[in-house]
Amino acid sequence: AGDLMKGKRGLVMGVANKNSIAWGIAQQLHAQGAELAFSYQDEALEKRVRPLVESLGGEPFMVTADVTDDASMEACFKTIEDRWGRLDFLVHAIAFAGKDELQGSFTHNTTREGFKRAMDVSAFSFVDAARRASALMPSREEGGGAMISMTYLGSERVVPNYNVMGVAKAALEASTRYIARDLGPAGIRVNAISAGPMRTLAMAGISGGRTLMKTGKDWSMLKEDTTMEGVAGAALYLLSDLGKSCTGEVLHVDAGFHAVAVPDIEE
Ligand code: NAD
């Protein structure tokens, strides 16, 4: 525990269960004194998220936000504005693509609808949330703000079955840079964390996920799985004042996997 986030209020979008990356990040921010609001996709998830949020103690602040629904997003940020009047940071950990699209040939299995949906939920949602969140952030003189989103190496290089999600992550990373430039003069920093494979619900939707996990460890420089601790630590860095001067960045937290071109050769 510490006080790196003391006096800061933030919205965490994307907790579905205890394995969610958003939850790992939230616990770390809470331990550093942040005050948190949580948005969840729908009522079904509310039941699962509530006990987690309650476990942090204090009065739970939870709001619905389906990122594909303008009215729902509007209502979510209105609730935050009414209750807090301001927002210091945003955590975006949301993505979706249909199961049919997350296997086999990208060229043959990507439909117009599937492409649009993956882009809408996984990339545009950050643009939309960033616009709404930035309107509530303090001025540069009063400390500005910070935002992060979650991405994966499939945006830069081809990963089997990741397919349309890789394309959506490329759009998310590019959006991160454009948003960072727009909001920079206001003192708002915008970054992405490119995490190695982690066992979550979203991961379970990717065909061959187990192989991705194993390769992610075996080919990594550290010879270990990406840890929630590492990802949450990176989030703390980027969202706290430790991250000053860092914006428009995609920070890889993947045990060094992204920089390896050829796996170990044993001979
Ligand atoms: P997760 O399933 O726990 O989280 C995904 C979240 O997206 C869920 O909370 C879900 O409710 C939310 N979501 C989906 N559609 C939504 C909608 N229409 N409106 C609102 N919320 C919606 O899985 P996770 O692995 O924690 O994923 C979080 C982020 O991390 C995603 O962006 C994912 O792509 C990224 N990521 C995951 C890994 C990994 O290996 N798990 C690696 C790198 C990046």
Q: Residue 33 — left, alpha, or beta (φ > 0 → left; ψ -120 to 50 → alpha)? A: left
Q: What's the rounded Cα separation, in Å, for the pair 5 and 36?
A: 10
Quote the ligand 1 centre to 95 CA distance (angstroms): 5
SS (H, E, C) the chain: CCCCCCCCEEEEECCCCCCCHHHHHHHHHHHCCCEEEEEECCHHHHHHHHHHHHHCCCCCCEEECCCCCHHHHHHHHHHHHHHHCCCCEEEECCCCCCHHHCCCCHHHHCCHHHHHHHHHHHHHHHHHHHHHHHCCCCCCCCCCEEEEEEECHHHCCCCCCCHHHHHHHHHHHHHHHHHHHHHHHHCEEEEEEEECCCCCHHHHCCCCHHHHHHHHHHCCCCCCCCCHHHHHHHHHHHHCHHHCCCCCCEEEECCCHHHCCCCCCCC
Residue 46 lies in a domain: yes
Locate 131 and state its tokens: 């616009």
Residue 266 lies in a domain: no
**Is the CB of residue 200 below 6 angstroms from any atom belonging to ligand 1?**
yes
pLDDT in tens, the chain (267 residues): 899 999 999 999 999 999 999 999 999 999 999 999 999 999 999 999 999 999 999 999 999 999 999 999 999 999 999 999 999 999 999 999 999 999 999 999 999 999 999 999 999 999 999 999 999 999 999 999 999 999 999 999 999 999 999 999 999 999 999 999 999 999 999 999 999 999 999 888 888 889 999 999 999 999 999 999 999 999 999 999 999 999 999 999 999 999 999 998 887
Residue 1 lies in a domain: no
Ligand 1, residue 149: give the atom nearest the CA.
Answer: 32
**Is the CB of residue 21 below 6 angstroms from any atom belonging to ligand 1?**
yes
**Is the CB of residue 25 below 6 angstroms from any atom belonging to ligand 1?**
no
CB 119 within 8 A of CB 223: no
Residue 4 lies in a domain: no
User: How many domains does the chain fold into?
Assistant: 1
Question: Beta partners for 10?
Answer: 36, 89
CATH classification of the domain holding 148: 3.40.50.720
Residue 260: predicted pLDDT:
97
**Is the CB of residue 102 below 6 angstroms from any atom belonging to ligand 1?**
no
Residue 156 lies in a domain: yes
Residue 39: predicted pLDDT:
98
Residue 3 lies in a domain: no
Residue 205: predicted pLDDT:
84
Residue numbers annotated as active site: 152, 162
Residue 150: predicted pLDDT:
98
Residue 144 lies in a domain: yes
The order of strands in the sheet holding 145-151 is 62-64, 35-40, 9-13, 89-92, 145-151, 188-195, 250-253
Quote the ligand 1 centre to 213 CA distance (angstroms): 16
**Is the CB of residue 213 below 6 angstroms from any atom belonging to ligand 1?**
no
Question: Residue 82: which residues within 8 A CB-CB, separation 6 or more?
Answer: none
Amino acid residing at 121: V
190 φ, ψ (degrees, to nearest 5) = -135, 120
Residue 207: predicted pLDDT:
85
ipTM: 0.99
Quote the ligand 1 centre to 169 CA distance (angstroms): 12
Which range marks the domain in which residue 244 is found? 9-256
Q: What's the rounded Cα separation, in Å, for the pair 159 and 162?
A: 6
Quote the ligand 1 centre to 164 CA distance (angstroms): 15
